[in-house]
Amino acid sequence: MIFSNRLKKLYFFAAIISITNLFYSCGFFSNEKETEKKHEIGMLPAEDRKYVLKSAIIKLKSAKQILGSDIETTIYIDDYGDKYCNITDTKLKYKNTTIVTSSVSITKNDFTYNYNPEKKIGTKSKNKGNFNPMHIDFASMDKQSLDANGISRVGETECLGRTCEVYIMENAALEMSGRYEVWNKIPLKFSTRIGTSQMEMYAVEILESPVIPEKIFEIPDNIKFTDAVNPLASPSEPAPSDSLQNLPSLGK
């Protein structure tokens, strides 16, 4: 097998990571209607708050390697979810080198920005309709919505000393299934299967109510953004570094 074949697999893997990050950070099953109402920062009314905590930092890791890569994600939440940042690092060890590829997703001011800081490209999308890239809020879904999406609550468990509600999903139409341990609308541990690919992530650290620097949510000036109707088609999916192309063959 030559390295270019491995590279193709990594690009496919990157697409799966992108979809998983989207699912983690969005109200995938949200029935909320679009709102044009603007809010003063830090003054969101209770009914518009995406999270229970005003601010939080959550660090997650993949439970096992996928195609030899480890995944680490850091999520920053501020103003009850009005500002959201997800930074995901894909780490591939090759001989004595670790190749790190990053992807960033920032949501604020009713827009979501997904970009690759290395390639300096990304997409910008308006948060509207059923796409609200903020959180998985299983608890607010009525029974009809849960049943329609193949979701059921199966009990409680503990993660990092916090009591989580456990939900499972079996959605044949989307070829998706999963198990989610959710605390305060935040999945602290989850496994998701999309088609034949699977990922499992778990929280290793949670900081409640930290002061988060505003620069975390700043959109870089050097990124070329294009408008995106469908975030899943984003060209800013985390892609293997161009330096991978210069590595030697892995052999058969």
Note whether residue 160 is domain-resident: no
pLDDT at 63: 95
Note whether residue 163 is domain-resident: no
- Would strands 56-62 and 69-78 be described as parallel, antiparallel, or unpaired? antiparallel
Q: What is the mean pLDDT of residues 77-94?
A: 91
Sign of the CA dihedral running 153, 157, 162, 168: negative
List of residues 6+ apart from 46 with CB closer than 8 A: none
Residue 225's alpha-carbon distances to 17, 28, 152, 221, in angstroms, are: 20, 23, 38, 10
pLDDT band at 136 (very low <50, low <70, confident <90, very high): low
Only one residue has tokens 């827009």, namely 111
Distance separating the N- and C-terminal Cα atoms of the chain = 4
- Six token digits for residue 169: 């999903």
Note whether residue 90 is domain-resident: yes
pLDDT at 128: 59
- State how far the Cα of 52 lies from the Cα of 100, in Å rounded to an integer: 33
Note whether residue 189 is domain-resident: no
Note whether residue 88 is domain-resident: yes
Tell me the per-residue pLDDT of 20-53, one tens digit each, with 9 for 90 and over.
454 444 444 444 443 444 444 445 567 778 888 9
pLDDT at 37: 44
Note whether residue 180 is domain-resident: no
Q: What is the mean pLDDT of residues 213-217?
A: 96
- Number of domains into which the chain is organized: 1
Mean pLDDT (the chain) is: 76
Share of the chain above pLDDT 90, in %: 44
pLDDT at 229: 61
- Identify the CATH number of the domain in which residue 230 sits: 2.50.20
Q: Is the pLDDT of residue 225 over 80?
A: yes
pTM: 0.75
Tell me the per-residue pLDDT of 107-116, one tens digit each, with 9 for 90 and over.
888 888 999 9
pLDDT at 173: 86
Tell me the per-residue pLDDT of 137-176, one tens digit each, with 9 for 90 and over.
777 788 888 888 899 999 999 999 999 999 999 988 888 8
Domain residues for the domain of 60 are 3-134+201-244
Higher pLDDT, 80 or 230: 80
Tell me the per-residue pLDDT of 90-110, one tens digit each, with 9 for 90 and over.
999 888 899 999 999 998 888
Note whether residue 177 is domain-resident: no
